[in-house]
């Protein structure tokens, strides 16, 4: 699969991580998350996808990511290299990561 | 299109609305957003899709939605019926809506 799709019947753990930034730190954080995802996260067991979003008002960055399971995501959190990248992100922004399930989808 | 896909080359305005809830208000808010989306939002010009997410820890609800343009989204905000539904959501949770562009996507 080369594109993230959102559906209620997928067996994935969805991570939505909301970073609060400023206009000055938004692009550096996007760059850091992009690099960390390519170099570290995507090589972890259970990684499916990550999508880095920048808010038009310059105040937020959101990572919408899918992992195969909650356990795979948790294992990544315990990896020292991943923690190093998350700590670097933490110096640019406050992060609010939560795991989600898709409750309902709606289309025209 | 019957599934939301995330990509950098789509000409859409992405709304990510993060609601802070409690275990008690999470499901009522999911129900309210589901109903409001079906009855009101999806009939608005420019609506593409909405995806209601419930956090596993019971503290958040996230709507990941796509609109054709920022202007279409703004026009919906000015609609009295839509405002009524948003006000009802506001009585259950605090909302943090922001519009986003997709900065980068990553896959295994």
Summarised one tens digit per residue, pLDDT across range B41-85 is 999 999 999 999 999 999 999 999 999 999 999 999 999 999 999
Contacts of A18 (CB under 8 A, 6+ apart): A60, A61, A62, A95, A96, A97, B16, B18
Average pLDDT of every residue of chain B: 95
CB-CB neighbors (< 8 A) of A100 in chain B: 53-56, 60, 62
- Give the DSSP H/E element, type plus range, for residue B43: none
Cα angle B40, B42, B45; round to 5: 100
CB-CB neighbors (< 8 A) of B42 in chain A: 106-108
Whether the per-residue pLDDT at B1 is higher than 70: the answer is no
Structural contact between residues B66 and B4, judged by C-beta atoms closer than 8 angstroms: yes
Q: How confident is the model at residue A2 (pLDDT cuts 50, 70, 90)?
A: confident
Q: How confident is the model at residue B2 (pLDDT cuts 50, 70, 90)?
A: confident
pTM, two decimals, is 0.96
Whether the per-residue pLDDT at B24 is higher than 70: the answer is yes
Q: Does A55 touch chain B (CB under 8 A)?
A: yes
Residue closest to A98 by CA, chosen among A2, A41, A14, A42: A14
**What integer pLDDT is reported at residue A1 of this predicted model?**
54
**What integer pLDDT is reported at residue A58 of this predicted model?**
98
> Which of helix, strand or coil describes residue A79?
coil
CB-CB neighbors (< 8 A) of A54 in chain B: 100-101, 103
**Proportion of chain B above pLDDT 90, given as a percent:** 96
ipTM of predicted assembly, 2 dp:
0.95
Structural contact between residues A48 and A63, judged by C-beta atoms closer than 8 angstroms: no
Structural contact between residues A46 and B92, judged by C-beta atoms closer than 8 angstroms: no
Question: What are the backbone dihedrals phi and psi of residue B58, each rounded to the nearest 5 degrees, phi first?
Answer: 80, 10
* pLDDT tens by residue, A9-63: 999 999 999 999 999 999 999 999 999 999 999 999 999 999 999 999 999 999 9
Structural contact between residues A12 and A66, judged by C-beta atoms closer than 8 angstroms: yes
Any bridge partners for residue B101, and if so which?
A54
Interface probe with B: pick from A3, A19, A53, A101, most Cβ of B within 10 Å = A53
The Cα–Cα gap between A69 and A11 comes to 8
Average pLDDT over residues A81-101: 94
Taking each helix axis from N to C end, the angle separating A80-90 and A70-77, rounded to the nearest 10 degrees, works out to 80
How far is CA B39 from its chain centroid? Answer: 14
Query: Are A53 and B103 an interchain contact pair (Cβ–Cβ within 8 Å)?
Result: yes
Q: How confident is the model at residue A104 (pLDDT cuts 50, 70, 90)?
A: very high
């Amino acid at each position: 699969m080369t594109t993230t799709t959102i559906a209620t019947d997928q067996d994935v753990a969805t991570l939505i991580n909301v970073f609060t930034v400023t206009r000055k730190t938004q692009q550096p954080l996007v760059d850091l998350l992009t690099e960390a995802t390519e170099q570290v996260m995507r090589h972890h067991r259970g990684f499916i996808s990550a999508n880095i979003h920048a808010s038009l008002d310059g105040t937020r960055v959101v990572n919408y990511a899918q992992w195969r399971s909650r356990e795979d995501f948790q294992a990544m959190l315990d990896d020292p290299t991943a923690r190093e990248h998350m700590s670097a992100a933490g110096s640019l922004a406050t992060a609010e990561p939560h795991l989600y399930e898709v409750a309902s989808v709606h289309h025209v």
